[in-house]
């Protein structure tokens, strides 16, 4: 399938070294608007590091990141969030002492801060004043945001809405991961990066997450997905990129890369999860 339009996200020669280790080695990647590309590969392949380079948490030693036709290489996470790039983290990051509502509101506030005109000195003071006085316009705005958050939480069925005022620490692991995705959605992203969204989830939770990602994709969201669960990768992806030791070793439709001898070898070389141990000469 030809991707005729200019890609939404485009990486060229992206490289990140840590001392003698090249964690991300000369990676090219194109992601069309509305597309879903998965990145798979054994532990330590460089998948999360690649996400960090795209989302501004880390800077590349070489190469470029292009988004919506603009060079965004090395911009801060805040600037990138303002441009519509949202992500979730492999180990999950929610604020335990904040409620579900407040965790998700953070995403909405990040978006609003980004669009507010910059009034350097008076800005924060004015904002504080408004917060203290709470005139009608501020209350209306708060109410609108709360409704927005409720609509996002409703996407997770009965998982989060009934717990909207509970602190995140009181939630199950799977629900905390859902909250993180809800927060990313509150940013109204144009590109969403999900780093192992089903890690630690049981099969039914995984199926639910897969359905949600499919729904987001059907709604037109462009998604970059890191995922170890291959069934989910096969179902959702337009294209799969396989990384090993920093390099892209295969790319194509899921079924094609799955049978690629290089890919099988990469997984075997690092040990398949739960698979047979390789013979050792010890």
What crossing angle do the helices spanning 136-154 and 100-115 adopt, rounded to 10°? 120
Taking CB within 5 to 8 Å according to partner kind, which of ligand ATP, Mg ion, none is near residue 46?
ligand ATP
Residue from 8, 9, 14, 23 binding ligand ATP (CB under 6 A): 23
Whether 168 contacts 179, CB under 8 Å: yes
Q: Which residue is nearest to Mg ion (CB)?
A: 48
Q: Residue 28 Cβ, how far from Mg ion at the closest point, in Å? A: 20
- For the CB of residue 38, give the shortest distance to ligand ATP in the complex, in Å: 13
CA pair distance 22, 13, nearest whole angstrom: 13
> To which residue do tokens 């945001």 refer?
145
Q: Determine which residue in the list 64, 66, 90, 166 makes contact with ligand ATP, applying CB under 6 A.
A: 90
If one asks whether residue 224 binds ligand ATP (CB under 6 A), the answer comes out as no
Alpha carbon distance 251, 232 (integer Å): 17
- The most distant pair of C-alpha atoms in the chain lies apart, rounded to whole Å, by 74
> Would you give the binding string for ligand ATP spanning residues 175-204, x where CB under 6 A is met?
------------------------------
Q: Is 15 in the site for ligand ATP (CB under 6 A)?
A: no
The stretch among 4-12, 15-23, 91-99, 110-118 that binds ligand ATP (CB under 6 A) is 15-23
> Mapping DSSP to helix (H, G, I), strand (E, B) and coil, where does residue 77 land?
helix
User: What CA–CA distances, in Å, run from 94 to 16, 48, 108, 216?
Assistant: 27, 18, 15, 21
Q: Which residues of 167-188 are buried (b: 16+ CB within 10 A; e: fewer)?
A: bbeebeebbbbbbbbbbbbbbe
Q: Of these, 12, 15, 26, 44, which contacts ligand ATP (CB under 6 A)?
A: 44
47 forms part of the interface with ligand ATP (CB under 6 A): yes
Expressed in angstroms, the distance from the first to the final Cα of the chain is 48
Q: Which of the listed partners (ligand ATP, Mg ion, none) does 160 bind, with a CB threshold of 5 to 8 Å by partner kind?
A: none
59 has which bridge partners?
none
Nearer to ligand ATP, 34 or 44 (CB): 44
Residue 49 makes contact with ligand ATP by CB under 6 A: yes
Q: Select 111 or 248, whichever has its Cβ closest to Mg ion.
A: 248
Q: Does 48 bind Mg ion (CB under 5 A)?
A: yes
- Residue 161 DSSP code: G
Q: Give the separation between CA 162 and CA 139, rounded to whole angstroms.
A: 23
Q: Select from Mg ion, ligand ATP, none the partner in contact with residue 92, using the beta carbon and a kind-dependent cut-off of 5 to 8 Å.
A: none
What residues make contact with ligand ATP under the rule CB under 6 A?
18, 21, 23, 41, 43-49, 90
What residues make contact with Mg ion under the rule CB under 5 A?
47-48, 90
């Amino acid at each position: 399938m030809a991707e005729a339009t200019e890609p939404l996200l485009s990486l060229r020669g992206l490289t990140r070294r840590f001392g003698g280790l090249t964690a991300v080695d000369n990676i090219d990647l194109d992601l069309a608007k509305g597309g879903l590309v998965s990145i798979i590969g054994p532990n330590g392949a460089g998948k999360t590091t690649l996400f960090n380079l795209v989302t501004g948490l880390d800077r590349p030693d070489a190469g470029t990141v292009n988004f919506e036709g603009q060079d965004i290489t090395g911009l801060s996470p805040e600037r990138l969030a303002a441009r519509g790039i949202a992500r979730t983290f492999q180990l999950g990051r929610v604020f335990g002492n904040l409620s579900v509502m407040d965790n998700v509101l953070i995403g909405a506030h990040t978006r609003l801060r980004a669009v507010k005109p910059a009034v350097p000195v008076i800005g924060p003071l004015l904002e504080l004043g408004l917060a203290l006085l709470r005139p009608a316009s501020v209350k209306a705005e708060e109410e609108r945001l709360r409704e927005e958050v409720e609509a996002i939480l409703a996407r997770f069925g009965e998982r989060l809405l009934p717990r909207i005022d509970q602190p995140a620490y009181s939630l199950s692991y799977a629900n905390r991961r859902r909250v993180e995705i809800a927060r990313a959605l509150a940013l109204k992203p144009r590109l969403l990066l999900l780093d192992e969204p089903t890690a630690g989830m049981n099969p039914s939770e995984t199926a639910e997450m897969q359905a949600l990602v499919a729904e987001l994709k059907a709604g037109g969201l462009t998604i970059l997905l890191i995922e170890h669960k291959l069934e989910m990768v096969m179902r959702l992806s337009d294209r799969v990129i396989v990384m090993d030791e920093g390099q892209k070793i295969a790319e194509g439709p899921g079924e094609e890369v799955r049978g690629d001898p290089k890919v099988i070898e990469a997984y075997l070389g690092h040990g398949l999860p739960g698979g047979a141990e390789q013979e050792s000469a010890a």
